Amino acid sequence: MPELPIHAQPLPSHGRTRAFAVPLVLFVLALALWQGPWQFHSPVPEATVVPAWAIDPTPVRRPKLRPQIQLAGFSYTCSDCHRFFSSPPETIRSLTQHRNVELKHGINTRCFNCHHLTNRDALVDDWGREIPYDQPQLVCAKCHGPVYRDWLHGSHGRTNGYWDLTRGPQERRKCIECHDPHVPPFPPMPPAPPPSTLRMGEQGDGHHDDAVNPLRLRPSVTHEPAENPTVPDGGTEAEEYVP
Amino acid sequence: MRRYFAFLWDCARLSFVGDWRYHAWMTVLTALALTGLYAWCQQLVHGLVTTGMTDQVSWGLYIANFTYLVGLAAAAAMLVIPVYIYRNLHLHDVVIFGELLAVAVIIMCLLFVTVDLGRPDRALHLFRRFNFPISMLTWDVIALNGYLLLNLHICGYLLYCAYRGRTPTKVFYVPFVFVAIVWAVSIHTVTAFLYVGLGGRPFWNSAIIAPRFLASAFAAGPAFIILTLQVVRHYTSHRVSDDALLTLRRIVQVAMLINMFLLGCEVFTEFYTDSAHVASARYLYFGLAGRTALVPWIWTAVAFNLLATLLLVVPSSRGLRVLNSACVLAIVGIWIEKGMGLIVPAFVPTPLGEIVEYYPTGREVLVCLGIWAFGLLLYTIFVRISVPVLAGELTYQRSCGGLPVPSERETRPQPTGGDVS
Amino acid sequence: MNAGERSDAGSSPTGANTSGPRLTRRGFLRKGAAVAAGASAAAAALSPLKDLAPEDVPSLAQFLQKHYKEMTPPEKEAVLNRITREVKDRYGVAATVTDPLPLTGVEFVYALNISRCIGCRKCVHACVAENNQSRAPEMQYIRVLQMEKGSIDLERSAHHYDPPLVPDEASYYLPVQCHQCAKPPCVKVCPVEATWQEPDGITVIDYDWCIGCRYCEAACPYWARRFNFTAPQVPADKLNPDLGYLSNRPRPKGVMEKCTYCLHRTRRGRMPACVEVCPTGSRKFGNVLDPDSEVAYILRHKRVFILKQDVGTLPRFFYYFDERGSRYHEPIAPVLPEEGA
C-alpha cells in the first residue's frame, strides 16, 4: 500500500459524512446573497428648495437716478410742483407732503442737507452748487469721506461684470443702489436656506451660550434650539447698541 | 521552475485539507469574506454614501482599521529582531509565523485602503503619475508593498527550501531579514507621517504620534502573536516553547509601558495647555457640545490598556491565563485607541468648527468584517501550509518523487479562532 | 525543522483508501460540489454589480485617458467632445465644454469685507447654480459662519443659523471657501497628482484622474474640499451649460471637487458667481498683479487678515474690514424730540 502525501490522504471517517457540509453552507450563502439582502436605502435627503431670489444678482434697490415722481399715472419732475410750492428751509419732519418718506439718517435730519434748496431737480454740495441726481455719491461723500474713498477704489460697494476691463464692461453700483438715502443702513433680509449636508444629524441653530463672551450680547441663551431670541427688524432693536 | 509550481500546487491542495473543525473555521471565514465582498459591491454601485463617512468626517472605520493593522504588520519585526540580532533561540521557531502574519496583515491593509477609495477603478493611475516623494501616501504605497514583497520572499524562500529539503542559503534571506526589520519600523513611521504632516488637523499634528504608533504596535502585535502561537501549538504538531511566549511577554510589557507613557504625555500636553487645539481631544474623552459618540469607546480603551499594563507588570502574568487576558485587553484597547480613537476625533470638530458625528453603517462594518475574515483565512492557510512543510512532512520528494514516507499522524492546524479575531 | 515531532507521529492512515474508484468518485463529487458552491457564492457576492449604472463603468477611452497635463491639444479636444456628448446624453442639454487656460500676468486674489457681510448665503446658492454642484446630496463650496461678536473662535461659530432675518445683531459673518493657497497642503498630499496649482493661483482638480482617497480633504485646513459620496444630482433644467473642464462640468461619483474661483468665468475676464450675487458688495475679486485692481487697493490700504495664518499655507483669500466698523457702529435710529411729541 503506497503512502500518500499529506494532502492526498483520505479524510477520517467522520469527515466523510460531513463532506458536503461545506458546499451546503456556501450554497445557502449564495442563495441568501442572490436574494439581495440589506438593500441600500439612500440617506440622501430631498434637495433643499432654493427660492429664485437666492441666486438673483439684482441689487436690493432700483433707484431711478432722476428727479422724478409717479403720481396718479403721470410722471412729474420734482420742480413741477416745487416751482410753485416752496418749502421752509428749516423743515424738519412736520411734513404735509412726502409723508411716505421716512428719514432715519442719523443726525442728518434736514432735507436740504442733500436736496438743493432752490432747484429741487438737483442735489446740493457743500458750497450750495448743484449735483445732478445721477451722481448721488457726490452728496454722500460730503459726510462719508472714507467710505467714498473706498468706494472710488472699489473696496466698498458692488462691482459687477468684468474684472478685466479689456474684455468687457464693469458696473459700479452707486450708493443709493444699495442704501436708501433716507434710511441708509443696509436692509436686513431673510437668509437663503441653511446647509443640509449628508448625514449631518441634528444641528440646531448653533447658538452658543454666552458664558465666555465678555460682551454678553445674547443674554440667557440656552441650548434650546428654539426660536431666535433676538429678531432684528430693521434696526428698531438697536437701542442695546447705542453707545 | 516546474518544482516551484509543484510547490505552489501542493500548497494550494494542502490548504483544502483538514478535519471538520478546520473546514468549519474556513467555511465561516469564507462566508464572512464573501459577505464583505457583497457589501463592498453595494458600495461600488452606490458610492461611499453606503458608509457613515461625510465631508465633515471623511475617514472612518476603514482607515482606522488600516492604521491598526499596519502596526500589527510592523510588529512582526519584533519577533525577528531578538532572533537575528540577539540570537535568542527561543523565538527562532516562531519567527516565520510572525512574518506570515505580516504578509496576511499587509494584504488586509491594502484591502482596507482599496475599499476606502472612491474610484478603485482608477487605482492604476498610481503607476502613471506617482507624486513621489511629495505625497506621504506614495511613501506608504512603497513602504507597504515593499514590506509585503520582503516578507513574501523571506517566508516563501524558507518554506520552499524546506519543501525541497535543502538548507536555506543565508545570503538569500538574511540580508532581507535585516532590511525587513528596518522596513517594519518605516511602514509604521510613514503611516504615522500620513497624519502627522497635516497642519490643518491639530489633533494629528504632533510629533509624538509616530513613536506612539510604534509603541502601541509593538504591544498589540506581539500580543496578537502570543495568542496565535498558542492556537498553533494547540492544533498542530509545531512546537512552541513557553520560553518563546515569555520572551514575547517581555516585549509586550515594555512596549505597553512606553505606550501608556507616551499617551500620558499627549493627554497632558493637550489638556494642560487647554488651547483651542484641545477641542478634538475634548470631544474624544469628554464629548463636545453634547456630542459624545466616542466617549464610551475611549474610556473602554483606557480601562483595557491600564488593566493590560497592570496585568503585564505583575509576575502572575507569567501564567498563560493571565497573560492571555492581558493580551486580549491590550489588543482591543489599542484597536480602539489607535483606530477610531485616533482617526475620527481629528475630524470633529471640522476645521471650521462644525460638529458632525460619525457612526459607521452596518454595510461598512460588514466590509471590515469581510476583510478581517479574509485576512484570517489567509493566515490560517499560511499556517496550515507552513507547519507540515517546515516539519518536513510535505516535501518535493514525497509529493512527486514517489518515495515512501513514514506515516503521519494528523498534523492539521485548526485554529478555533474566537480568541484571535 | 521539527524532526523530533515526526518520529512520534505514529498512527497509520485509516486504510479506507483501498477501494480506489469509489473514493475517486466520491472525491470528485465532493470537489465538484465545493467548486460549484464556492463559485456560486462568489457570483452571488458580486451580484450587486449588476445594478452598476452604465456611466459608472469606465469606457475604454475613459480608462486610457491621459492626465490633464499630458494631453496633447487634439487629445484634449477629443475629451472635451466626449464630455459634450455625455452631457447631451445625460441631461439633454447642448453644453459648451471648454478649457480656458490661465492668463499670463494674472494672479487671482479674493478679498472679503467682514464689516459688510450680512450672512444672507446668496453666494452659497449662486455658487451651486453656477458650478453645477449636486443638489441631493447637497454640496456647497461656501460655508457662511455666524460668528459671535467679541470672538473669532471658529469652534463657537454657527453654521446652521436660520433666523427670519439676517444680520443677527449679536453676530458677524465669516464666509469660508477655498482659499487657493500659494502653498496648498491639498496638492502636496495627492498621491496621483490629480490636483495642482495653476499659474494664476487656482488649485484645480482633474475629475477624470482623482482616485477618491480623500487625503486632500483631510489635509485642507479650511474644509474647502468636497467629495462625491454618491452620484451627484443636478436637475437638467438647472444645469449651467457653460462648462469648464477643470471647473464646473458634471462630476462623476467618487471624486473630489472644490471652488475654482469660477475659472470658466474668471479666465474670460468675468467675476465669479459669488461676487456677482453678493448684495452688499462684500466680495471683491481681481488680479493682484494689477496695481489698479480693487484687490490690490484693499491689500495695500485696508486692514487685512488671513484665516488660520498659523497653518502657513499662504492663502489668496483675504478678509478685511472697514475702519469705521460695521453698520451697527453708529446709531441708525436717532431719537428726535419732535417725533416723540
Which pLDDT tens digits describe chain B residue by residue (421 residues)?
788 888 888 888 888 888 888 889 999 999 999 999 999 999 999 999 999 999 999 999 999 999 999 999 998 766 777 777 777 777 776 788 888 999 999 999 999 999 999 999 999 999 999 999 999 999 999 999 999 999 999 999 989 998 988 888 889 988 998 899 899 999 999 999 999 999 999 999 999 999 999 999 999 999 998 998 898 888 888 888 888 888 889 989 999 999 999 999 999 999 999 988 899 999 999 999 889 999 999 999 999 999 999 999 999 888 999 999 999 999 999 999 999 999 999 999 999 999 999 999 999 999 999 999 999 999 999 999 988 888 888 888 777 665 444 444 444 444 443 333 3
pLDDT at site B32: 96
> C224 pLDDT exceeds 70?
yes
Grid coordinates belonging to C217: 480633504
Q: Is residue A26 part of a domain?
A: no
In terms of CATH, what superfamily is B2-400? Formate dehydrogenase/DMSO reductase domain (1.20.1630.10)
pLDDT tens digits, one per residue of B132-170? 999 999 999 999 999 999 999 999 998 999 898 888 888
For residue A202, what pLDDT is reported?
Answer: 86
Looking at the complex, does the CB of residue A233 fall below 8 Å from at least one CB of chain C?
Answer: yes
Polymer length in residues for chain C: 341
Contacting residues of A for C116, CB less than 8 Å apart: 156, 186
Residue among A31, A41, A199 with most chain B CBs within 10 A, to mutate:
A199
On whether any CB of chain A is under 8 Å from the CB of C41, the answer is yes
**In the predicted model, is pLDDT for residue C193 greater than 60?**
yes
How far is the C-alpha of C8 from the C-alpha of B409, rounded, in Å?
Answer: 8
Q: What angle do CA B27, B31, B37 make, to 5 degrees?
A: 145
Which positions ≥6 away from C224 have C-beta within 8 Å?
A: C141, C176, C177, C178, C179, C258, C259
Residue window 52-81, chain B: list those with CB within 8 Å of chain C. 53-56, 58-59
Measured between beta carbons, the chain A residues lying within 8 angstroms of C17 are 4, 9-10
Q: Determine contact: B356 vs chain A, CB below 8 A.
A: yes
Q: Flag if C34 and A22 touch (Cβ within 8 Å).
A: yes
Q: What is the pLDDT of residue A93?
A: 57
Gap between the Cα atoms of C32 and C26, Å rounded: 10
> Are B47 and C254 within 8 A, CB to CB?
yes
d(CA C167, CA A234): 10
List chains touching A (3+ CB pairs under 8 A). Answer: B, C
Chain A CB contacts of B404 under 8 Å are 2-3
Note whether B118 contacts C156, CB cutoff 8 Å. Answer: no
d(CA B246, CA B257): 16
A30 in Cβ contact with C44 (< 8 Å)? yes
Question: Crossing angle of helices B2-14/B362-390, nearest 10°?
Answer: 120
CA angle B266, B272, B275 (to 5 degrees): 95
- Count structural domains, chain A: 1
For chain B, state the CA radius of gyration: 22
- On whether any CB of chain A is under 8 Å from the CB of B290, the answer is yes
β-bridge mates for residue A190, sequence order: none
Suggest the residue from C122, C155, C319 to mutate for an interface test with chain A (most A CBs closer than 10 A). C122
Using a CB–CB cut-off of 8 Å, the residues of A that contact B are: 2-3, 5-9, 11-12, 14-15, 18, 21-22, 25-26, 29, 33, 38, 40, 42-44, 197-201, 203, 223
What is the CA B293 to chain-centroid distance, rounded? 25
The answer, yes or no, to whether residue C47 has pLDDT greater than 70, is yes
* Helix, strand counts (H, E) of chain C: 11, 12
Q: How far apart are CA B401 and CA A188, in angstroms?
A: 92
C206, B125 Cβ separation under 8 angstroms: no
Per-residue pLDDT, C335: 32
Asked whether the predicted pLDDT for residue C20 surpasses 70, the reply is no
Inter-chain residue contact B122 with C313, CB threshold 8 Å: no
Q: What is the pLDDT of residue A236?
A: 38
Taking the Cβ of residue A36 and every Cβ of chain C, the question of whether any pair is shorter than 8 Å is answered with yes
Query: How large is the average pLDDT for residues C130-143?
Result: 96
CB contact under 8 A, B363 and A21: no
CB contact under 8 A, B405 and A5: yes
Residue A45, C-alpha cell as written in the block: 435627503
Instruction: Look up the ipTM and state it.
Output: 0.91
Residue A43: which of B49, B394, B405 has the nearest Cβ?
B49
User: To the nearest whole angstrom, how far is the Cα of C265 from the nearest Cα of chain B?
Assistant: 26
Do β-strands C195-197 and A123-124 pair in parallel, antiparallel, or remain unpaired?
unpaired
- Mean pLDDT by runs of 10 across the 243 residues of chain A is 50 54 89 90 93 92 88 87 78 69 83 90 93 94 90 94 95 92 90 94 69 69 45 39 36
- Closest to B174 in 3D by CA, of B251, B85, B90: B85
A194-198, C18-22, C218-222: which has the minimum mean pLDDT?
C18-22
Contacts of A157 in chain C (CB under 8 A): 281
Each residue of B289-320: b (16+ CB within 10 Å) or e? bebeebeebbeebbebbeebbebbeeeebeee
Show Cβ contacts of residue B404 under 8 Å, excluding neighbours closer than 6 positions.
Answer: A2, A3
Under DSSP, the state recorded for C102 is: P
Q: What is C121-264's CATH topology?
A: Alpha-Beta Plaits (3.30.70)
The predicted structure's pLDDT at residue B241: 84
What count of CB pairs under 8 Å joins B to C? Answer: 223
A6 contacts B411? CB cut-off 8 A: yes
pLDDT on residue A207:
58
- The residue of chain B nearest to residue C185, with distances taken between CA atoms, is B198
- From first CA to last CA, the distance across chain C in angstroms is 109
Chain A residues with beta carbon closer than 8 angstroms to that of C36: 23
* Residues of B in Cβ contact (< 8 Å) with A200: 54, 56, 356
User: What cell was used for B378?
Assistant: 489567509
C267 is written with which cell numbers? 479666465
Looking at CA atoms only, how far is residue B75 from chain C in angstroms? 24
Q: What confidence score (pLDDT) does residue A5 get?
A: 52
What are the grid coordinates assigned to C195, written together?
490636483
Taking an 8 Å cut-off on Cβ atoms, the answer to whether C230 and B130 are in contact is: no
- B341 CB within 8 Å of a chain C CB: no
Q: To 5 degrees, how large is the angle CA B274–CA B279–CA B285?
A: 95
B376–chain A nearest CA distance, Å: 18
> Quick check: B53 and C229 CB within 8 A?
yes
DSSP C197: E
Query: For residues A107 and A143, is the Cβ–Cβ distance under 8 A?
Result: no
Give C41's contacts in chain A (Cβ within 8 Å).
Answer: 26-27, 29-30, 33
Contact B80, B233 (CB under 8 A): no
Grid coordinates in use for C108? Answer: 487671482
Residue A210's pLDDT is 58
Domain limits at A117? 58-177
B46–A11 CB contact, under 8 Å: no
- Say how far apart CA C140 and CA C124 lie, in whole Å: 6
> Which among A13, A94, A110, A155 is the top mutation candidate for probing chain C, defined by the most C β-carbons within 10 Å of its own β-carbon?
A155
Any CB–CB contact under 8 A between C27 and chain B? Answer: no
Q: Which residues of A touch B363 (CB under 8 A)?
A: 38, 40
CB contact at 8 A, A185 and A58: no
Q: Would the CB atoms of C140 and A195 count as touching at under 8 Å? A: yes
Neighboring chain B residues of C4 at a CB cutoff of 8 Å: 239
B268 near A CB under 8 A: no
Q: Is the pLDDT of residue C101 over 70?
A: yes
Q: Does B135 touch chain C (CB under 8 A)?
A: yes
Would you say residue C256 has pLDDT above 80?
Answer: yes
The verdict on C325 touching A (C-beta cutoff 8 Å) is no
* End-to-end Cα, chain A, rounded Å: 109
Cα A148 from Cα A151, distance rounded (Å): 5
- DSSP per residue, B97-115: HHHHHHHHHHHHHHHHHHH
Contact: B399, A5; criterion CB under 8 Å: yes
| Centroid of chain to Cα A195 | 14
DSSP A122: S
Residue C205, C-alpha cell as written in the block: 482638480
| Chains touching B, CB cut-off 8 Å, 3+ pairs | A, C
The CA-atom distances, in angstroms, between B179 and each of B151, B182, B186, B187, B404 are 10, 5, 10, 12, 40
